[in-house]
Structure 1
């Protein structure tokens, strides 16, 4: 019953799409073209498997990305350097079983080598207190609110400082060790990003 987290594979994109669109009102729907765009461009796109079955996924991008989400732009207007979680989805039958925590732990392990903080949002309408509680228990704090103009949904904008980043940056700079667990997705070109850590 272990949870395995790894990079998404191309043949899994249809399953990712189905899982996303079955998630309910807490997650905006996707179409096949958008999932493919994430596959081609997202810095982080990983799936969680439980009993060899797709149990969830997480998609993230760095602050230097040209990601077109209004929530991402909100963070970029206020903060110089961060890793943004566009979405995390866990299959309904797997919720409460540690899949979300496994995905967040993996994403943090990736992000803290490269960014001083993580950012995400949670919808505030429709009774999403469990999602707020989950993020709060994982160390995220609200830094503002934003109404998404494309859908009119108010979101809590959350950030979490990554305490290991200063040490990693001071010790390794841009020359991280060439280890499997450290490498970024090979299919995505590295994008230049800001190096400051203060908000604007």
Structure 2
């Protein structure tokens, strides 16, 4: 009953959309066009499989992205270089089974080689914040501010986590990481090459 985290495949987008829109009020809804935009542009778009079935997904992007989320812009106005988790969704029947932790471990493994910080937000107006904030706090995320999203009127706690390995990686390897299989960027065949950000 292992959890496999891997890049999303195009034929899975309908299932991903259904998972997102069944996740409840803590996750903003998506339509097919928006999800297609993520598929074509997101730096990190991975799914988790458990027992051969889709158990969840995580979408993320670096601070260089042209992402139009007001939460993303809030972070970019205040921090020069970070990896942003736009959303993580775990199927209701799989919650509490380690899928979320597997995603965050995978996303951090990717991020800490490329960015000094990770960023995400937690909606505060949905009555379920304590377990969600506790989950993020256990991974080292701390609130750095709050933001009211103009598109929804919802208030979000803005969370960031320092990635302590980034400085060592940058000092040791510079912007050119070794071409090892576990280091290659997710979805590299789909996305155009980008310049790696530098720590400021």
- The verdict on a shared fold, with TM-score over 0.5 as the criterion, is yes
Q: CA RMSD in A?
A: 1.0
1:164 and 2:165 correspond:
yes
Displacement of 1:193: 6.0
Aligned partner of 2:140 in structure 1 is 139
Q: 1:194, 1:5 → 2: CA distance?
A: 25
Displacement of 1:180: 1.8
1:188 and 2:169 correspond:
no
Q: How many residues align?
A: 197
Displacement of 1:130: 1.1
Aligned partner of 1:86 in structure 2 is 86
Structure 1: stretches of 5+ with no match in the other structure: none
Taking the TM superposition and a 5 Å limit, the aligned residue runs for 1:106-185 are: 106-127=106-127, 128-184=129-185, 185=187
1:95 and 2:95 correspond:
yes
Q: 1:84, 1:190 → 2: CA distance?
A: 18
Displacement of 1:103: 0.3
Q: State whether residues 80 and 195 of structure 1, in contact with CA within 8 Å, keep that contact through their aligned partners in structure 2.
A: no
Aligned partner of 2:59 in structure 1 is 59
Aligned partner of 1:16 in structure 2 is 16
Question: SS of 1:155's equivalent?
Answer: strand
> With structure 2 as the length reference, what TM-score do the two structures score?
0.96
Displacement of 1:194: 4.7
Residue-by-residue CA offset, 1:88-109 (whole Å, 9 max, x unaligned): 0000000000000000000000
Question: 1:66 and 1:191, CA in 2 relative to 1: closer, same or farther beyond 3 A?
Answer: farther
Residue-by-residue CA offset, 1:149-168 (whole Å, 9 max, x unaligned): 00000000000000100011
Displacement of 1:190: 3.2
Q: 2:103, 2:112 → 1: CA distance?
A: 14
Structure 2: stretches of 5+ with no match in the other structure: none
Question: SS of 2:158's equivalent?
Answer: strand
> With structure 1 as the length reference, what TM-score do the two structures score?
0.96
Q: State whether residues 65 and 191 of structure 1, in contact with CA within 8 Å, keep that contact through their aligned partners in structure 2.
A: no
The runs of at least 4 consecutive aligned structure 1 residues that moved more than 3 Å come to 190-194
Q: 1:194, 1:102 → 2: CA distance?
A: 25
Q: 2:150, 2:197 → 1: CA distance?
A: 26
